[in-house]
């Protein structure tokens, strides 16, 4: 075993063996309970790609127990919501959907309802579920992903409700089975948790401290993905730039990128999220050098005002952010940059908000993920004076969207006539026989083509730009 693997705390082989035994026991129970056909599981995932990756591991375990998956919750024998706590709106949706399960469960008494993920890691939420949603059978948090077999076994055997939301040291569970919906567009977690404690953010409270997977494990999984036909591998972490910080491996994020870039195969590498505080010129130089790394940088700046950034505890200034952007554009002139923004942080004034607008004008982002501040239980910002009413923040928000829409439309117009390499992701939502895909810079584009191209790279010439949506033609 290498030095880095020794240092990183992983779930013991003995514990993993015990869980596999539970899988076998459940298999037997299910084959008796459902003798005619395989039991069906419905798994719905809210939140970020980290949650999607967790769900793939939970589904992997369910699949081994004998479950098959359905998109229809009414016909499911096991319903699982993997929840997100990032904003109030996300939580409200979950409570609404759990409420909607009640009449379904009334008609189907042996349906098992389970909730997991970030929301469950908050005490006030799990207590509310315990108190007000008695038909929920199983609740588990983000530290118990690998213990699903044991927990589900308890539910199946005992008929009692099971709650497991303890925060542990967060050992990494390697070797879990993974069930992926798509083999060509894949997620690869490289680290878990977050140490940054941005004052508005709930993630460090629900995901625990930062911990990186051993580079050997990451490379092993990357090779596996490539052999299964991955055309795009997105490396995941709340702050990928601090990958490897606490391990002895000596492999930092740029080095890891380079190692994956060297693996043979026709695939692209993406990553998120990059934190400006830990984004270095070394990373940008590495991106520029690595031909498999997509020319896309998602670098959330949150606010363009230094006082607000300080209150947010982000650890960088507007100037430092802009310096990174200038450098990124210098070493990768074709780089596409996207970002996250919070509007209406407690105490933010309109003047300060205007600094966010001017930063957008200066950088000219491809696209933005924009949010109105949402107070989260347990965070510092929840108790900060917040005098600006929501209605006013909404006006600022609309102003921001308008500016960004103009910039995105201008950028898209500038792409007409150019040809891009595009990974075909599927058919368009309108179901008009057209295909949709994404450019290297992560811009959606649709075009005519045969469904057999899904999962392949094609060259597409942009023929039209409608606001920020591109359409084009495949080049032979």
Binding site for ligand SF4 (CB under 6 A): 194, 196-198, 201, 203-204, 238-239, 275
Q: Which of 23, 43, 58, 86 binds ligand SAH (CB under 6 A)?
A: 86
Residue 84 sits in the site that holds ligand SAH (CB under 6 A): no
Laid out side by side, the sheet with 68-69 consists of: 68-69, 40-45, 78-83, 112-117, 138-140, 162-164
Q: Is residue 58 a contact point for ligand SAH (CB under 6 A)?
A: no
The residue from 207, 231, 268, 411 that contacts ligand F3S (CB under 6 A) is 207
Residue closest to 77 by CA, chosen among 113, 40, 114? 40
111/368 with CB nearer ligand F3S? 368
Between 238 and 252, CB nearer to ligand SF4: 238
Q: How far is the CB of 202 from ligand SF4 (least distance, A)?
A: 8
Cβ proximity to ligand SAH, 26 vs 400, nearer residue: 400
Point out which span in 147-155, 198-206, 220-228, 372-380 binds ligand F3S (CB under 6 A).
198-206
- Choice from 73, 275, 296, 318 touching ligand SAH (CB under 6 A): 275
Task: Tell me the number of residues near ligand SAH by CB under 6 A.
Answer: 16
Question: Quick one: what does residue 342 bind among ligand SAH, ligand SF4, ligand F3S, none, with the CB cut-off 5 to 8 Å set by partner type?
Answer: ligand SAH
Contact status: 300 vs ligand F3S (CB under 6 A) = no
Rounded CA gap, 212 and 244, in Å? 6
Among 117, 300, 437, 449, binds ligand SAH (CB under 6 A): 300
Asked if residue 235 binds ligand SAH (CB under 6 A), the reply is no
85: partner contacted, choices ligand SAH, ligand SF4, ligand F3S, none (Cβ within 5-8 A by kind): ligand F3S
How far apart, in Å, are the Cα atoms of 58 and each of 55, 147, 148, 188?
5, 9, 7, 15
Task: Name which position in 19, 30, 41, 50 contacts ligand F3S (CB under 6 A).
Answer: 50
DSSP-assigned beta bridge partners for residue 271: 235
Q: How long a stretch of residues is the chain?
A: 476
CB of 311 to ligand F3S, least distance (A): 21
Contact between 85 and ligand F3S (CB under 6 A)?
A: yes
Q: Say if residue 249 is exposed, middle or buried (CB neighbours under 10 Å; 0-12, 13-18, 19+).
A: buried
Partners of 470 in beta bridges: 445, 465
Nearer to ligand F3S, 47 or 254 (CB): 47
- Interface pick for ligand SAH out of 342, 360, 412, 445 (rule CB under 6 A): 342
Site for ligand F3S in 102-141 (CB under 6 A): 118
Q: Cβ neighbours of residue 48 under 8 Å, at least 6 residues apart?
A: 84, 86
Query: Of the two residues 136 and 359, which places its CB atom closer to ligand SF4 in the complex?
Result: 359
Question: Is residue 94 part of the contact set for ligand F3S (CB under 6 A)?
Answer: no
Q: Does position 144 bind ligand F3S by CB under 6 A? A: no
* The token pair that represents 464 in the structure block: 């039209």
Partner that binds at residue 50, options ligand SAH, ligand F3S, ligand SF4, none, CB closer than 5 to 8 Å by kind: ligand F3S
The residue nearest ligand SAH at its CB is: 340
Q: Is 200 in the site for ligand SAH (CB under 6 A)?
A: yes
| C-alpha neighbours within 13 Å on the C-beta side of residue 172 | 21
Per CB under 6 A, does 272 bind ligand F3S? Answer: no
Smaller CB separation from ligand SF4, 201 or 332: 201
CA 445/CA 409 separation, integer angstroms: 13
Among 76, 79, 84, 458, which residue sits at the site for ligand F3S (rule: CB under 6 A)? 84
Q: Choose the stretch contacting ligand SAH; rule: CB under 6 A; options: 148-156, 207-215, 255-263, 369-377.
A: 369-377
Site for ligand SAH contains 315 (CB under 6 A): no
Burial class of 319 by CB neighbour count within 10 A (0 to 12, 13 to 18, 19+): exposed
Residues forming contacts to ligand SAH in the complex (CB under 6 A) are: 86-87, 200-201, 238-239, 273, 275, 300, 302, 340, 342, 371, 373-374, 376
């Amino acid at each position: 075993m290498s030095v880095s693997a020794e240092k990183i705390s992983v779930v013991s082989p003995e514990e993993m063996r015990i869980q596999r035994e539970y899988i076998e026991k459940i298999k037997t129970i299910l084959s008796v309970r459902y003798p005619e056909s395989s039991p069906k599981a419905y798994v719905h995932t809210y939140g970020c790609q980290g949650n999607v990756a967790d769900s793939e591991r939970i589904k992997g375990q369910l699949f081994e127990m004998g479950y098959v998956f359905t998109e229809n919750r009414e016909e499911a024998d096991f319903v699982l919501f993997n929840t997100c706590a990032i904003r109030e709106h996300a939580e409200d949706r979950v409570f609404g959907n759990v409420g909607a399960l009640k009449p379904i469960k009334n008609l189907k008494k042996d349906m098992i309802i389970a909730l997991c993920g970030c929301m469950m890691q908050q005490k006030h939420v799990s207590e509310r579920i315990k108190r007000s949603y008695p038909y929920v059978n199983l609740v588990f948090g983000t530290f118990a992903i690998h213990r699903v077999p044991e927990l589900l076994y308890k539910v199946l055997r005992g008929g009692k409700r099971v709650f497991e939301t303890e925060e542990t040291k967060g050992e990494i569970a390697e070797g879990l089975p993974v069930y992926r919906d798509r083999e060509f567009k894949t997620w690869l977690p490289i680290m878990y948790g977050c140490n940054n404690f941005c004052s508005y953010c709930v993630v460090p409270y629900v995901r625990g401290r930062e911990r990186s997977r051993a580079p050997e494990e990451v490379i092993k999984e990357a090779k596996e993905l490539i052999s299964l036909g991955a055309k795009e591998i997105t490396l995941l972490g709340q702050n990928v730039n601090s990958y490897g910080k606490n391990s002895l491996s000596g492999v930092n994020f740029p080095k890891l990128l380079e190692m994956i870039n060297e693996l043979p195969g026709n695939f692209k590498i993406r990553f998120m999220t990059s934190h400006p505080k830990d984004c270095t010129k070394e990373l940008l130089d590495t991106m520029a050098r690595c031909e498999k790394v997509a020319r896309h940088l998602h670098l959330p700046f949150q606010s363009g005002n230094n006082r607000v950034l300080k209150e947010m505890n982000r650890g960088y200034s507007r100037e430092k952010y802009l310096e990174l952007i200038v450098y990124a554009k210098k070493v990768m002139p074709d780089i596409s940059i996207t970002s996250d923004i919070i509007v209406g942080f407690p105490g933010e004034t309109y003047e300060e908000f205007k600094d966010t607008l001017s930063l957008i004008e200066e950088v000219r982002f491809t696209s933005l993920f924009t949010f109105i501040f949402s107070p989260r239980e347990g965070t510092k910002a929840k108790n900060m004076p917040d005098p600006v009413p929501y209605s006013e923040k909404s006006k600022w928000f609309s102003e921001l969207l308008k500016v960004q829409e103009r910039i995105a439309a201008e950028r898209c117009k500038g792409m007409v006539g150019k040809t891009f390499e595009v990974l075909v992701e599927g058919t368009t939502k309108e179901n008009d026989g057209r295909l949709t895909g994404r450019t290297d810079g992560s811009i959606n584009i649709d075009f005519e083509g045969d469904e057999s191209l899904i999962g392949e790279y094609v060259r597409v010439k942009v023929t039209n730009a409608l606001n920020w949506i591109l359409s084009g033609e495949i080049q032979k």
